[in-house]
Chain A
């Protein structure tokens, strides 16, 4: 007899009461993509490990691989309770959202045993190595090479936008194993170790001036052949599966989902505290429009769980969620800058405390609308898969 969800929620709340950590002396990043120093990293790893030890990470995953084997819906309930309590995010999110589910679905028994428990506990940190300087939206044109040599592959190439790269122990890596095959067919998917000779991690500075992203350069790096995921040449199929996890199209990620609407609540607070603007009809109208959009986003999850309410277009809401969520956040941040007015033109000016948050949110919001499939690519996908329109290319 499995534990009812309501009891699980109570258990999470009761555990959190004595265990929710106070904010550290240093500033925590907003999410796993923006971790910049060792101090932040070690604090966040420790938090994830404690949460894992309490049984709240990988709750639905099989016990044989370090999970708790709870019924479907358990992780979602846990995530909601964590979000409600304002708990810190889980830092190993590339592992929880993508690498983990991929290994669970497509890995060998040995790969599952080797990696899954350690990633749930943040004992090993993962990053993603898909994009390259010449392969963004057209990912299948990637040029990193993997050449089989006995029991190893030799890797040469250049990966970009690897968040967590400087902290990571492993990378889900796409590399070309057969340059003579058509471009989608010659790609393979590796679980590549990074703490080996021939791997160089260089920081990449974002448009905000902040760090967080990296480039990873492989120069004759040698990795064991048994770290190939699936078969040689299956990489594109597996990458597509990963991107569907990334775009929220597939259930089953191990934790760290977020609830929408937080940015909008801040915007409401900002406008409430700006007396002359609070009564401006134009701003009120725009705020209400965003509130309606935020509410539709909030209820989309509840609707998706009712098959009869998505029967006409089963794929629409899952494929929309990343696109509309990130564009919504961008619109909210942009309106925040506008309402902030001149104050919104300052960037962490010591003379005016608290400045810079809205422009920083707005500049950062482009990460959402570009990474993991640009809004433009996603509109192609929706047009083709949901509306049945012919392919653009």
Chain B
């Protein structure tokens, strides 16, 4: 696996900065200050160079790879960063993969500098999330349709949308202030990551020049990885929080963490979290190395994350007891993020169905066996 001094340096820097700037108090303030329209901490995130992390250097970014993405996503997940960094990182990656050079040069430098929050608007009103399932249409260069559950729906300036054209699937870029685009905020479970509903009524857009189907397929592992890493960070943070509480909360004259009814389930959470982190860094290293197994490893990471994170959070609420049932306890903030992240880009059941197909279907000669380091 690849991980060197510079990865560790990014982790250290991110962990310090986020601990200072994204406190639980700040999170709660942002939750009540929902409609401000400005993404939290955005100029600071751009100044840190994080908005351009994955964007190639020739287009104004840092040109860094999947392990860096995993590190940054894990650390932001740890603090439930309420800014649209992950959607912007992922949208930039999809623009890069689906565009020609001129388009990359037109759009990516602004995203790198933090001038535009970007997001991928791909979820159908019914919840279908694969690009191929899109019902949005492209006619005479204009987009019509609707997308729901759009990350940063209220703050993004650039929307990247899969659309149907007569000749097949396309990816288009739409400015959120274009005529015919209406965005309304969704009332969501997770106030640290706001979402919106977007309607396109014959709105102007730019069609990206590349093969949309190939770009989407190649990009999905990045989305699975980023989300899995972010969820790993959250799960790890909520585990640490709960272990610290169990070590100090006294009932029956003993810290409750000394009781095996608390200790053993927390160890089960530890195992789930550490296995998840192993899969995250296995997937990230494989993506950077261009290994064919990267796709399946990233799926596995997202599947593991979709179970480990809600599990860690449910134990956190439960083991905080009555305090865990209050707004004051941070456990529910993580639980909300965990539940909101679970269906994104496919939950555990969906990922496992695809993994099972890779292991069981096809004839013996084509059957894949398990990934190997």
Contact = CB atoms under 8 A, between A and B. Distances in A.
Nearest to B269: A387
Contact of A292 (B255, B352, B369): B352
Contact of B297 (A264, A295, A391): A295
Interface in A99-114: none
Interface residues of B, number: 55
B366 to A, nearest CB: 12
A264 B282 CA distance: 19
A288 B351 CA distance: 9
A313 interface: yes
B94 interface: no
A383 B264 contact: yes
Contacts of A195: none
A228 to B, nearest CB: 36
B258 A391 contact: yes
Interface in A255-284: 261, 264-265, 268, 271-272, 278, 281, 284
A382 interface: yes
Contacts of A312: 236
A293 interface: yes
Contacts, number: 160
A287 interface: yes
Contacts of B257: 383, 387, 389-390
Nearest to B257: A389
A289 interface: yes
Contact of B373 (A288, A301, A309): A301
A295 B281 contact: no
Given A291-B370, A295-B297, A302-B1, A284 B8 contact: no
Interface in B315-373: 349, 351-353, 355-357, 359-360, 364, 367, 369-373
Given A287-B356, A300-B278, A387-B267, A309 B1 contact: yes
Nearest to B244: A388
Contacts of B303: 288-289, 292
A299 interface: yes
A294 B4 CA distance: 26
A280 to B, nearest CB: 10
A320 B300 CA distance: 20
A387 B270 contact: yes
Contacts of B349: 285
A87 interface: no
Interface in A119-178: none
Given A389-B258, A391-B258, A296 B304 contact: yes
B43 to A, nearest CB: 30
A231 interface: no
Nearest to B259: A392
Nearest to B296: A295
B274 A316 contact: yes
A332 to B, nearest CB: 12
A386 B263 CA distance: 11
Contacts of A326: none
B48 interface: no
Nearest to B286: A299
A202 interface: no
A227 interface: no
A102 B265 CA distance: 34
B324 to A, nearest CB: 17
Interface in B223-256: 236, 239, 243-244, 246-247, 254-255
25 contacts: A268-B359, A268-B360, A285-B349, A285-B356, A287-B356, A288-B303, A288-B356, A289-B303, A292-B279, A292-B355, A295-B371, A296-B300, A298-B371, A299-B278, A316-B274, A324-B275, A379-B260, A379-B263, A379-B267, A387-B243, A387-B270, A388-B244, A388-B247, A389-B258, A392-B259
Given A268-B360, A288-B355, 9 more contacts: A278-B360, A288-B353, A301-B373, A313-B274, A324-B275, A379-B263, A380-B260, A387-B267, A389-B257
Interface of B: 1, 3-5, 7-8, 11, 236, 239, 243-244, 246-247, 254-255, 257-260, 262-264, 266-268, 270-271, 274-279, 281-282, 297, 300, 303-304, 349, 351-353, 355-357, 359-360, 364, 367, 369-373
